Structure 1
């Protein structure tokens, strides 16, 4: 990622600087030698844990749509009108998909490119809501399967909202370091969308599974599921060290910022902590100001109007 200047006059400058970097880092080293002089290609980098996961022995019950709605799902395929929310979500999804497209000669970065990390500077900015709706939207509009991963695990996390706190999950994988067993993924009522709970853990186990351990588990999970897009609902960057460690293995970071609430210095500090990711994007949440030249200012497209 690009190094930021020490003195930043405006937050916009920091955001543009963060988002202005290329989605993937440029290859380092001298130009490749002629074909006749090239050495045999090095074997692909081995994943941290065994990447092959056996199919689930028995189908796990799908998370019903009612539970997803209760957890904060606002996306719907059968919307009668193209609402402002749906259009804004489509724009966000388009930006994320652009970064998922592979570049020539960068096949080894595929595992990292498929990981989308969603975080915020502090709690209460809507990152879990954003993670859930982004994952549902991507799964509904693409042929690629999407896995929503709860890295947070707090009292108001997606795992808690869905009533899955007692199930195996990410913490279990990080603790066992065994990806040859069946993965504890839960299907959902949305086709191609699955969910990985945070996973129950004692206080001692939670302390043992530090940020670096979680990052290794996420990287191995991506290797075990090469066709999946992973959407990580990550703790706030200023709350734990998880965001900084996971940014090092993620292909892109979505920083959710609550409009008219989060302070500029909080956002800048959070961006500094995750700038080891090649692509940072800001998402302004809960905006209330609408002007004639803003997106969605003229109402829901396709909605029925009454005189």
Structure 2
């Protein structure tokens, strides 16, 4: 049986099981241009590479991963109300600030930094304590990277104890990361959420689990992240993680990251908490800091500052 026939058979099995799977170009008989099936690094199941474009007809060939993922509509007005960047908005100070923040992160992720960084495209956004703006920063950073011409971005809600990302984006709870780690019959594409922002995909935290810390420290999690990091060469993955000083999940997750961004609330986070947070991240090769809600020279104006260093 050919790879195309295997893919079509798998999709038909999913439909019979009640999964809503749209028809793909593979089943319509067009010649696929995208990469063939390869084995999933965690489960041994077949996975598919990113879609490509039919050179004769100019149409996008939908990969089975896209077919299995669910599409959601982000309400751009909800994003505006939450202070999140939107792709159709006029240029703003916030957008310019995140341009500055994202540039070295992208360079490191794509191997253009001072030195190669293993899994440099895995970027964790955290803070010392709750309420310092890490989810806000993660969402805006992901949206800013989605505006790039040469990169796609996946935004992961890894705050498995207190997930808040989907709520901020105006979306209901959904299956996600925990479900993939707990149930080997659930593949990553089945819980991904494609959005109406073309280059932005979401991975919810999923169903809460009492052993979330152990799951994040498991071999299955390490294999899943390795697969996510290497599946697409242009993909950057942003993790909205728990605060470092109040949970153990964040410390576990940090050991698997290539880059960590620490959000520090101006006139709110103490120096002792910042030092303690940095001390817990010794294993991460790149640590960066974003100063949130820093009062600028303009009266009543607030913005972001940025600190950057290798192992600092």
Q: TM-score, normalised by structure 2?
A: 0.67
Q: For this pair of structures, how many residues does the alignment match?
A: 244
Query: Does 1:135 find its partner at 2:142?
Result: yes
Q: Deviations over 1:78-118 (max 9, x none)?
A: 443x43212111100112112123269x98x66x1111111
Q: Distance in 2 between matches of 1:163 and 1:189?
A: 13
1:121 equivalent in structure 2: 128
2:26 equivalent in structure 1: none
The within-5 A match list for 1:242-281 is 242-281=249-288
1:90 equivalent in structure 2: 99
- Unmatched segments (≥5 aa) in structure 1: 1-45, 297-307
Shift of 1:257: 0.3
1:305 equivalent in structure 2: none
Report if aligned partners of 1:63, 1:186 keep a CA contact under 8 Å in 2. no
Report if aligned partners of 2:179, 2:186 keep a CA contact under 8 Å in 1. no
Q: Distance in 1 between matches of 2:192 and 2:81?
A: 17
Query: Does 1:146 find its partner at 2:156?
Result: no
Query: Does 1:64 find its partner at 2:74?
Result: yes
1:209 equivalent in structure 2: 215
Report if aligned partners of 1:51, 1:223 keep a CA contact under 8 Å in 2. no
Does the residue aligned with 1:249 lie in a helix, a strand or coil? coil
CA pair 156-114 structure 1, distance change in 2 beyond 3 A:
closer
CA pair 281-177 structure 1, distance change in 2 beyond 3 A:
farther
Shift of 1:164: 3.4
CA pair 78-160 structure 1, distance change in 2 beyond 3 A:
closer
Higher relative CO (Cα under 8 Å, sequence separation at least 6) belongs to 1
Q: Deviations over 1:13-51 (max 9, x none)?
A: xxxxxxxxxxxxxxxxxxxxxxxxxxxxxxxxx955548
Report if aligned partners of 1:146, 1:193 keep a CA contact under 8 Å in 2. yes
Does the residue aligned with 1:182 lie in a helix, a strand or coil? helix
Question: What value does the CA root-mean-square deviation take over the aligned residues?
Answer: 3.2
Report if aligned partners of 1:255, 1:281 keep a CA contact under 8 Å in 2. yes
The within-5 A match list for 1:35-54 is 47=41, 50=44, 52-54=46-48
Does the residue aligned with 1:191 lie in a helix, a strand or coil? coil
CA pair 229-185 structure 1, distance change in 2 beyond 3 A:
same
Runs ≥4 in structure 1, deviation > 6 angstroms?
none
Q: TM-score, normalised by structure 1?
A: 0.68
Q: Distance in 2 between matches of 1:51 and 1:113?
A: 26
Most deviating of 206-215 and 138-147:
206-215
Q: Deviations over 1:232-291 (max 9, x none)?
A: 001011122222222222111110000000000101111111121111111000112427
Report if aligned partners of 1:154, 1:160 keep a CA contact under 8 Å in 2. no
CA pair 191-93 structure 1, distance change in 2 beyond 3 A:
same
Does the residue aligned with 1:118 lie in a helix, a strand or coil? strand
Shift of 1:141: 1.6
Q: Distance in 1 between matches of 2:284 and 2:213?
A: 25
Report if aligned partners of 1:255, 1:282 keep a CA contact under 8 Å in 2. yes
